[in-house]
Amino acid sequence: MNSPVEAISFYVFAAVTLGSAVGIVLSKNIVRAATCLLGTLGGVACLYFVLHANLLAAIQLIVYAGGTLILIVFGVMLTSKSPWAQFSPTRGQVAAAVVVAAMLAFSMCSLMLSADWSRPSGSLLESPKVAEVGKMLLTDYLVPFEVASVILLVVMIGAAYLARPEK
């Protein structure tokens, strides 16, 4: 790290992110879990800021914290009669969850252990120019961009169709 401030910030924001993630998993209250999700998304955005990826951080905040999270909280608020929902999973469900979690943990650990953590050359002191990102989106990465917009359009149409008033 270039300066102690960056190191401290990294550890602090990482702690916030991971702590909130743990909060989401362990919380028995749905709305509190959604609030912890805000902490996680915000923590990730702060990490992006530490890495000088300003554009990505701002977009993370607008799209995730300001959009997706609100929809999740909205859905939670409107559909649950009480936030203190009791989950009582069956033993089969617990077993399946343990198996999936173990597979995921194993694959992630092996990936992390085999990765090359040596420091890349060059510094990240400058955030990428927004104009360049925009140009790349419309030239090199045009197809994924258009596909994403088509997907969003389909989602909107589907949502409007599902939410139509019943005649």
Residues engaged in binding another protein (CB under 8 A): 4-5, 29, 31-32, 35, 38, 42, 54-55, 57-59, 61-62, 65-67, 69-70, 73-74, 77-87, 127, 129-131
* Cβ neighbours of residue 123 closer than 8 Å, sequence gap 6 or more: 2
Instruction: Tell the smallest beta-carbon distance from residue 84 to another protein (Å).
Output: 5
CB of 91 to another protein, least distance (A): 19
Cβ–Cβ under 8 Å, residues 34 and 25: no
Cα separation, 78 vs 34, in Å, equals 13
DSSP class of 119: P
Q: Tokens for 108? A: 């992630």
Nearer to another protein, 103 or 150 (CB): 150
Q: Residue 25 or residue 78: which is nearer to another protein going by CB?
A: 78
Main-chain dihedrals φ then ψ at residue 11, nearest 5 degrees: -65, -40
Whichever of 7 and 99 has its CB closer to another protein, that residue is: 7
Q: Min. distance of Cβ 164 from another protein in angstroms?
A: 15
Residue for token digits 């008033």? 165
Shortest spacing between CB 3 and another protein, in angstroms? 8
- C-beta neighbour count of 159 within 10 angstroms: 10
Of 5 and 15, which has the nearer Cβ to another protein? 5
